Amino acid sequence: MKFAYGTSRLEATNSPTHVFNAADVTGRPNVDWCGSHRVETIRVNVVGTLTLAEGCRERGLILINYATGCIFEYDDEHPLGSGVGFVEEGTPNFVGSFYCKTKAMVSDDPIFLMLHLSL
């Protein structure tokens, strides 16, 4: 099968209802790599995610996207140790690295369910 940039190619021998996506570029040895490799990072973390989401939407599939919780940081409304948490609908407030910026770019897209995992 020929690869076409910017299009999705979802294949299945059965009839899936959901697609789980955990693909992203985090960089090696750490996320600072993403800042000096912006094209590669955007290609996967933004274009790849949105292309997959659009392909799922066209086929009526539910996309569940696992993503980093590193788009939120403690602030005056969410003090450290207060027990006040963030909600999925919240606006990302941490863009301290290019990696985090790319994750925030797709965090509010209504096409898919986003699960922000915090480690």
Summarize pLDDT for 27-58 with one digit per residue, the tens: 888 888 989 999 999 999 999 988 888 888 88
Q: What is the pTM of this model?
A: 0.71
Where do the structural domains in the chain lie, given as residue ranges?
18-117
DSSP per position, 52-106: HHHHHHHHTPEEEEEEESTT---BTTB-TTS-----TTSPP----SHHHHHHHHT
pLDDT value of position 25: 86
* Topology (CATH level 3) of domain 18-117: Rossmann fold (3.40.50)
Name 3's Cβ contacts closer than 8 Å, sequence gap at least 6: 9
**Rounded-to-5 percentages of helix, strand, coil across the chain:** 30, 15, 55
Mean pLDDT score, 66-93: 77
Checking if the pLDDT of 2 tops 80, the result is: no
pLDDT value of position 53: 87
